[in-house]
Structure 1
Amino acid sequence: MMVIEIKLVYSVKEVIILNKALFLDRDGVINNNKKPVNKPKDFQLYEGVKEALSKAQKN
């Protein structure tokens, strides 16, 4: 039997970065929900959402 020991060493900053998450609900939160979205062309983001998502991705 062979025993392999693996040590994972992360700084506190790295652990915090690895645990970031953003949860979104599209139906009326980030998009216009006046009618059901059955096709990608029917999906309409609210103004400013694209920029906010881009900013969140960078942080």
Structure 2
Amino acid sequence: MSRQTLLNVSSGKSNGDLRTWLRLSRAFGVGLDELLAEVRLPPAVRDAPDGRGSEPAL
């Protein structure tokens, strides 16, 4: 997987394909269900005016 692919997926520019998600799953040692689960943001991030708050960059 290229660095550009990872950056595009993490920034939301691309959804990736199944091969990409399987590679990420293996790389992080988690199942696809966990990798693709809904992200629950803490209140400080969720309630920030721009919707981003202090969300860490990937």
Higher helix share: 2
TM-score (norm. length: structure 2): 0.28
TM-score, with length taken from structure 1: 0.27
The structure with the largest alpha-carbon Rg is 1
